[in-house]
Amino acid sequence: MEHQIWINPILIGMEEMSWLETIAVFFGLASVFFSIKRNILVFPTGIVSTLIYVWICFQVRLYADMGINAYYFSMSIYGWYLWANPKPGKKELPVTWLSVRGWGVTMALLIASYLTLHAVLHFFTDSDVPVWDALTTSFAFVGMWLMAKKKVENWIAWILTDLISVPLYLYKGLPLTAFQFGVFTIMACIGLYSWIKAEKGK
């Protein structure tokens, strides 16, 4: 039956849930918590989670997500540097909104990354979910870039990433990771509210 296409991977995933996935989820949740607090620990905790997910995503053929986790790793180092070295006279990198030009660059990055990822996944891999894998990855690509620059809009990108990721990871038999992204959705909404308040009060 058609519903079994979705249910069977979920049941198998629940039986095969690994300690590795549990550790990755723990550090992933910790990273988002520190991000909401605008605490620099967002980056070292994120690095641990993303390195583990590179391996997990490779195992379940989520190749774009594997690539985005490798990208998270490099952007975490970049963001760590930016947050630790604010401009002269500033205690920390301030939270700001995107400018009109910033929105243009962001949308161009989103569209270009989606089209590129979808083409690569469709023509050069055995991915069975190229549309959804490319979509979550392109939103996450933009979200990480905006977070490193402390832009409020990073949370909008994360909310969209998380909402799409929940059913995707359920389908791939990773229920704990799907649960993580459900929690991420709630935390991202809290983060958006918190960063809006921070930007107004700066």
One DSSP character per residue, 102-127 reads HHHHHHHHHHHHHHHHHHHHHHHS--
Q: What confidence tens digit (pLDDT) does each residue in 134-191 have?
A: 999 899 889 989 988 999 999 999 999 999 999 988 888 878 778 888 988 999 999 9
Residue with the bigger pLDDT between 41 and 175: it is: 41
Could you tell me if 65 and 138 are in contact, meaning their C-beta atoms sit under 8 angstroms apart? no
* pLDDT of amino acid 9: 52
* pLDDT of amino acid 25: 84
* pLDDT of amino acid 8: 56
Secondary structure element (H or E) that encloses residue 82, with its range: helix 63-84
- Measured distance CA(50)–CA(167) in Å, rounded: 20
Rounded to a whole number, what is the distance in angstroms from the first to the last CA of the chain? 56
Q: Taking each helix axis from N to C terminus, what angle separates 175-200 and 19-36, rounded to the nearest 10 degrees? A: 10
Q: What confidence tens digit (pLDDT) does each residue in 70-126 have?
A: 888 888 898 899 888 887 777 778 899 999 999 999 999 999 999 998 998 888 888
Q: Taking each helix axis from N to C terminus, what angle separates 130-148 and 100-124, rounded to the nearest 10 degrees? A: 150
Domain ranges, ordered by start, for the chain: 4-200
> How much is the pTM?
0.75
Residue 162's alpha-carbon distances to 2, 157, 184, 189, 201, in angstroms, are 25, 9, 6, 11, 28
173: left (phi over 0), alpha (psi -120 to 50) or beta: left
Residue closest to 137 by CA, chosen among 46, 70, 83: 70
pLDDT at 7 over 60: no
Could you tell me if 94 and 83 are in contact, meaning their C-beta atoms sit under 8 angstroms apart? no
- Measured distance CA(120)–CA(143) in Å, rounded: 21
